[in-house]
Amino acid sequence: MTVARRPFFFGVTLFFTAAAAHAQSCQTYLFPYVVGDVTLATVKTPREPILRDEEGCPGKGVSCASYAYLVQGDRVLVAHAQSGYRCIAFFNGRRQTTGWVRQEILNPAAVDPAAPTAANAAWVGTWTRQSGEAQIVIRKQGSELYATATATLAVSRDNVRTGGAEGRLSVQGSNASFGETGGEAGDRSTVCRVHVRLLEDLLLADDGATDDSNSSCGGMGVSLNGIYRRTAK
């Protein structure tokens, strides 16, 4: 694993509140679980290992440590809490590292005041997921916004699983959603509904998946969950 030492190349950190702890794993392909629970933070200790997400972790502490670590001042994306740890995502300029860190080493960070607003222009563009093959394209048609999302997972050369969603983007502030409607009490395990959120220059997405098989937006292991960055407008 590449050592995660440098700050986010787009300068953002995310926190999940304890309310989002409906899923206890901390894996790149499912991060974030709930976009609305994400906040920003910075690291306040000189060096902090990122713990792996595996059986018994993070509860076993430093025995779960990976080769990746954070240093003071690094900005991270933080998710749900478990046993005094937080699920975080970090970018070192090349790739995303996801894992657990101690909650007490994180300082809440303010959102960049220059961050884009939730106006139409801030949403429009082609957004590419930072880890895994997925894109969300948001376009304006008249006075409405529409989104199309696609994702693929190549299990082997002869087994490529796909997923996706599309529909009118319903915007409420910096949060929005698109895809299917209906279902039992909005159950996204049976209805493909994608929630997205603008945070600084990022688009966060979750399709309700909490493991590798229950997303209604694609085949097994295919999820639209992720951290996206605009690549074209």
pLDDT of residue 50: 95
Summary mean pLDDT of the chain: 83
Residues 6+ away with beta carbon under 8 Å from 133: 151, 152, 153, 154
Give the chain's domain count.
2
Residue 99 has pLDDT above 50, yes or no: yes
Do 222 and 142 share a structural domain? yes
| 131/34 same-domain check | no
In a domain, 204, yes or no: yes
Q: What is the pLDDT of residue 39?
A: 86
CATH code for the domain of 37:
2.30.30
- Residue 12 pLDDT class (50, 70, 90 cuts): very low
Domain boundary among 109, 133, 150: 109
pTM: 0.82
The percent of residues in the chain predicted with pLDDT above 70, rounded, is 82
Task: Check whether residue 34 and residue 130 sit in a common domain.
Answer: no
Q: Greater confidence, 37 or 189?
A: 37
- For residue 35, what are its two tokens? 């976009």
Predicted pLDDT at 91: 83
Secondary structure in 3-state letters for the chain? CCCCCCCCCCCCCCCCCHHHCCCCCCCHHHCCCCHHHCEEEEECCCEEEEECCCCCCCCCHHHHEEEEEEECCCEEEEEEEECCEEEEEEECCCCEEEEEEEHHHEEEECCCCCCCCCCHHHHCEEEEECCCEEEEEEEEECCEEEEEEEEEEEEECCEEEEEEEEEECEEECCEEEEECCCCHHHCCCCCCEEEEEEECCEEEEECCCCCCCCCCCECCCCCCCEEEEEEEC
- What pLDDT is attached to residue 128? 94
- What is the spatial distance between Cα 99 and Cα 152, in angstroms, rounded to a whole number? 23
Domain that holds residue 37: 18-109
**Six token digits for residue 141:** 């048609």
Residue 11 lies in a domain: no
| 93-118 mean pLDDT | 84
9 falls within a domain: no
**CB neighbour class for 135 (10 Å; exposed up to 12, middle 13-18, buried from 19):** middle
Least Cα distance to 216 among 193, 232, 186, 198 occurs for 193
Instruction: State yes or no: pLDDT of 213 exceeds 80.
Output: no
Is residue 193 within 8 A of residue 167, CB to CB? The reply is: no
Which domain-ending residue is among 109, 132, 160? 109
Q: Tens digit of pLDDT for each residue in 149-191?
A: 999 888 788 888 888 999 999 999 889 999 987 665 456 667 8
Same domain, 75 and 166: no
Once rounded to an integer, what is the mean pLDDT over residues 69-86?
Answer: 92
Is 55 found in the same domain as 151? no
Phi, psi of 13 (to 5 degrees): -130, 150
